[in-house]
């Protein structure tokens, strides 16, 4: 019985490093591309007073969905991560280590905040009565979410924690 639990544990750890973490890393680019495109469409629609088309609505919706998928993958990575386990096992010592603090707390809390901002923006834009209000709401909330995500990504040049651009 213990042997099977041990094997299962090893398999999930291997899954994290070989599947989930690279997936989480690649999905970052999809999230960023979707957000940049959404922000561009919202700005274009708002400043040139266009009508909020079906494709604008689909972009609003799919950007939020891609971010939600990344959130779920992030949660799975969090539950399996050895770094995070180490952080919670020795919380006092780990707080002094910026990299452990980043992945144990800062990254996940900021990303959670970004997803909440994005979801509120998406839902509010959907319910606005006029097209100009839809574009404006989407523009403001998506820019805020984008900025939080940019700060919370462990770029190779980030002062908080560094990970490769592609894994």
Does 122 interact with ligand HEM (rule: CB under 6 A)?
A: no
Q: Binding to ligand HEM by residue 63, rule CB under 6 A?
A: no
Stretches 1-9, 41-49, 89-97, 109-117: which one binds ligand HEM (CB under 6 A)? 109-117
Alpha-carbon span 41 to 159, nearest angstrom: 32
Only one of the segments 3-11, 39-47, 86-94, 104-112 lies at the binding site for ligand HEM (rule: CB under 6 A); that segment is: 104-112
Q: How many CB atoms lie within 10 A of CB 45?
A: 21
Show the CA angle centred on residue 152, arms to residues 149 and 163, nearest 5°: 115
Q: Compute the distance between CA of residue 27 and CA of residue 10 in angstroms, rounded to an integer.
A: 24
Counting residues that bind ligand HEM (by CB under 6 A) gives 28
20 makes contact with ligand HEM (CB under 6 A): no
* Comparison of 72 and 129: residue with beta carbon closer to ligand HEM: 72
| Smallest distance from ligand HEM to CB 12, Å | 13
What is the H or E stretch that residue 136 is in? helix 131-152
């Amino acid at each position: 019985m213990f042997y099977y639990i041990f094997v299962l544990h090893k398999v999930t750890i291997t899954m994290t490093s070989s599947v989930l973490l690279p997936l989480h890393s690649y999905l970052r680019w999809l999230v960023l591309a979707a957000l940049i495109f959404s922000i561009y469409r919202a700005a274009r629609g708002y400043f040139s007073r266009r009508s909020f088309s079906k494709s604008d609505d689909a972009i609003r919706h799919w950007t939020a969905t891609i971010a939600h998928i990344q959130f779920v993958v992030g949660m799975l990575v969090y539950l399996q991560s050895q770094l995070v386990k180490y952080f919670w096992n020795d919380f006092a010592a780990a707080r002094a280590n910026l990299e452990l603090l980043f992945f144990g707390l800062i990254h996940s809390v900021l990303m959670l905040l970004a997803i909440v901002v994005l979801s509120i923006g998406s839902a509010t834009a959907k319910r606005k009565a006029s097209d100009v209000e839809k574009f404006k709401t989407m523009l403001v909330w998506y820019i805020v979410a984008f900025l939080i995500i940019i700060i919370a990504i462990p770029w190779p040049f980030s002062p908080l924690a560094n990970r490769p651009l592609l894994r």
